[in-house]
Amino acid sequence: MNIESYQNLNLKPYNTYGIKSIGKNVYFPKNEDELICLLKTKKGIVIGNASNILFSSSGVEEDLIFLKNLNKIKDNGETVYAEAGVKSPVFSNYALDCGFTGFEFLIPIPSTIGGNIYMNASAHGEAISDYLVSVRVWDKDDNKVLELQKDEISFLYRKTTFNQNPNKYVILGATFKKRKKDKSEISTLMENIKKIRWEKQPSLKTPNAGSVFKNPEGLSAGKLIEEIGFKGKKSGGAMVSLVHANFIVNEDNATSDDIVNLMYEIQESVYNKFKVRLEPEIIYIGKNTEKTEKIWKK
């Protein structure tokens, strides 16, 4: 197969943090067959839109497989199938056009269907697993495609079967059931969600990767960070957002070290004051340092 690939590719255009990092070997399969071909021969890291990923500015030695071309949606009547690379706003708008609900919360999120399932994305009382029927996966152990039913998959807050055992499955796509709703109601809800998003979280015009830390049970990570006085705190080109303290923005050509330094300070300061250890929500890819090993508990 003639699979699109690059050596020593600048990853800055391929991550929402806008971090400059060089990927040693990067692949862009055009379809599921090409993806499976790669998975049979490469031990690569599979990536959707890299909207919650921090690439190391020192570069990435691991093979990277981006799913931007696996972006097909298929209507199956009472259900709908979306490939793993379908972007969240695209799927949310598709649901609106077809008049089914449950995916309004995806409209402002720069993620993909595969990434949403991997992390069990949720917001505004909705979760990606709510209307899930099954997930089509590549089983790395048995080298075959499987269809996992929802009840075979564990979905907890930002924890799933997939991210708790990342060496087992690769998400190829997912089937969702349709629950009909008036289009005007869906549209109104989507507009309200977008309004809340732009008022309470920083825009992607200032590059970021969404929430940096998971919310501890019963607590708000953003509130804890705000209470230690870190809003507006800077490290190099990175800054803790003035809009929402659980966002670190790339304000001026930040490096991964700038962001890691802030994360480390936040984690230590929050623990020292509240005895709460914040767990990162974003994923780090690249060479580890003493700080990244502590933050992500490598």
- Per-residue pLDDT of 123-137, as tens digits, reads 888 999 999 999 999
Catalytic-residue membership of 281: yes
Average pLDDT, whole number, for the chain? 96
Burial of 127 (0-12, 13-18, 19+ CB in 10 A): middle
Percent of the chain with pLDDT over 90: 94
Which residue among the candidates 226, 251, 265, 281 is catalytic per the annotation?
281
Q: Residue 141: which of 177, 162, 169 has the closest Cα?
A: 169
pLDDT at residue 298 greater than cutoff 60: no
Delimiting residues of CATH 3.90.78.10 domain(s) in the chain: 221-295
For 43-65, what is the mean pLDDT?
A: 96
Delimiting residues of CATH 3.30.465.10 domain(s) in the chain: 76-138+148-199
Where do the H-state alpha helices sit in 99-248? 113-119, 161-164, 183-200, 221-227
**CA-to-CA separations, 140 to 37, 39, 82, 128, 144, in angstroms, rounded:** 12, 8, 21, 24, 7
pLDDT digits (tens, 9 = 90+) for 66-119: 999 999 999 999 999 999 999 999 999 999 999 999 999 999 999 999 999 999
- Domain made up of 221-295: CATH architecture: Alpha-Beta Complex (3.90)
Question: What class does CATH assign to 76-138+148-199?
Answer: alpha beta
Tokens of 41: 């021969």
Residue 28's φ and ψ, nearest 5 degrees, are -130, 80
Question: What class does CATH assign to 4-66?
Answer: alpha beta
| pLDDT value of residue 105 | 96
Which residue among the candidates 111, 134, 211, 269 is catalytic per the annotation?
211
Tokens of 31: 């379809």
Delimiting residues of CATH 3.30.43.10 domain(s) in the chain: 4-66
| pLDDT value of residue 140 | 93
pLDDT at residue 150 greater than cutoff 90: yes
Q: Residue 19: which of 178, 158, 148, 209 has the closest Cα?
A: 209
Which residue among the candidates 5, 122, 158, 197 is catalytic per the annotation?
158
Catalytic-residue membership of 158: yes
